[in-house]
Amino acid sequence: MMRRLRSLILAGLVAVAAAAPAVASEEMEYPKNEWSHGGVTRGFSNIFGTFDRKALQRGFQVYKEVCSACHSMNLLSYRNLSALGYNEAEITAIAAGYDMTDGPNDEGEMFTRKGVPADHFKAPFPNEKAAAAANGGKAPPDLSLIVKARKGGEDYIVALMTGFEPAPAGFTVPSGGNYNKAFPGHVIAMPPPLSDGGVTFADGTKATVEQQAKDVATFLAWAAEPNLEARHQMGLKVMIFLIVLAGILYAAKRAVWADQH
């Protein structure tokens, strides 16, 4: 009995050891990009970093014209766009470009009105079931916190957006799937969302796939942590305070010990 038990344990250990490399192979590293804000998922890599406002506006444009067809951003309101550098008139015009369902009115009926800055970003589908039904049975994820929800943060977003390519020889892509070298498992339901010149940036920046990917990643990083700049500023103030405090304590120490001689 004990011999049989030892054999089963040994077989189990061998199986685990054989499976370990396959699990490790799924761990993916993404090319590191330079971010003016330092990167949401990189801690204190750049405590002086600030968001590039032009990149934020271009990224919002990519989301608005491309990503918003399938992906919601339920945690953002149009008035939050003031942090991107838009003025009140521009934000009002952006919000008014959407028809919002509201109500009920005095007759108990829902009605449609133009959007206002206080409204949350309009979702592409009325509910999650409708989103799933329109996308092969799985609802596209909300992008409000996607940078924090994915390992690699902004770098993952860029790698994913630029990672679509023909599948290598011997790799079978199931019907309805697309090969993406950055996506775990390499098969993703989303077709390539970006194309060169797919948007026309207001500031004249050339809209390559890579440029669009970096800009929308910057916008999504801001959406995931809109207080990042304030946190950086607070960190700088704390560092200055600690340096001054250390100087005061050192001077006090010298003064106290000077009387001992």
Q: Is 261 annotated as a binding residue?
A: no
Local structure of 239: helix, strand or coil: helix
Q: Is 239 annotated as a binding residue?
A: no
Total residue count of the chain as it appears in this document: 261
Number of CB atoms found within 10 A of residue 31's CB: 10
Q: Where are the beta strands (DSSP E) in the chain?
A: 99-102, 111-114, 178-179, 187-188
Q: Is 71 annotated as a binding residue?
A: yes
Cα–chain center distance at 176 = 25
Concatenate the DSSP letters of all residues of 47-100 into one string: TT----HHHHHHHHHHHHHTGGGT---TT-BGGGGGGGT--HHHHHHHHHTSEE
Name the DSSP class of 38: -
Number of CB atoms found within 10 A of residue 178's CB: 17
Cβ 154 vs Cβ 40: under 8 Å: yes
Q: Is 120 annotated as a binding residue?
A: no
> Which token pair is 229?
């700049």
Provide the annotated binding site. Answer: 67, 70-71, 190
Provide the annotated binding site for heme c. Answer: 67, 70-71, 190
